Amino acid sequence: MELSKEVVAQYFHLPIAEAAKQLNVSLTVLQRSCRYMGFQHWPHRKLNSLDLLISNLEAENRGATVDDYTKVIITRLKEERRRVQENPDYKLAPSTNKLRQRNFKARYKTRKNLILVLATPIEATPLQGINPTNNLDSEKMDGDYASDNDRRE
């Protein structure tokens, strides 16, 4: 099977190992063919990042009217995605890299806050589990923290 840029480009959306399986060639053969065709890096992660960025921008404005600035950004991102599809070694614009980084940080903060909210019980105080003082009916707890030497005396 002859590997051409057009054939290989159809599999850029997959990880390189999966693309090699789909093309029915070994990973090494695919990598060498890509180097021979002139591109050094497999663009799967870059394309996924751009797709995620586009979908996040579209999802933020779903149900609301999209302003012109957001439309311009989405159009520019789709154009960059097309360029990466044509040339995997295409360097993204610095503004796109900044937008990717801001989006990643915003998603990280959202996940972090969500985990903190889910992990913190609402009714519990920090020391309630360690030192239960609201057990008025109980006598001295068995297995208290006295050492063995204190008990022998």
Q: DSSP letter string over 16-57?
A: HHHHHHHHTS-HHHHHHHHHHHT--S--HHHHHHHHHHHHHH
| Residue whose entry in the numeric block shows the structure tokens 């109980």 | 138
pLDDT digits (tens, 9 = 90+) for 85-137: 999 999 999 999 999 999 889 888 888 887 777 666 656 555 544 555 555 55
> What pLDDT does residue 80 have?
96
**Cα–Cα distance between 41 and 89 in angstroms, integer?**
6
Per-residue pLDDT, averaged over 32-55, amounts to 93
Residue 120's SS3 state is coil
Is residue 146 over pLDDT 70? no
**Cα–Cα distance between 11 and 8 in angstroms, integer?**
6
The percentage of residues in the chain with a pLDDT greater than 90, rounded to a whole number, is 51
- Chain mean pLDDT for the chain: 81
> What pLDDT does residue 114 have?
79
> What pLDDT does residue 129 have?
46
Pick the most confident of 21-30, 60-69, 120-129, 143-152.
Answer: 21-30
Per-residue pLDDT, averaged over 15-37, amounts to 94
pLDDT digits (tens, 9 = 90+) for 65-79: 677 888 899 999 999
Per-residue pLDDT, averaged over 12-38, amounts to 94
> What pLDDT does residue 58 have?
84
List, in sequence order, the alpha helices (H) in the chain: 5-9, 16-23, 27-37, 44-60, 68-86, 94-119, 148-152
Query: pTM here?
Result: 0.68
**Cα–Cα distance between 29 and 20 in angstroms, integer?**
8
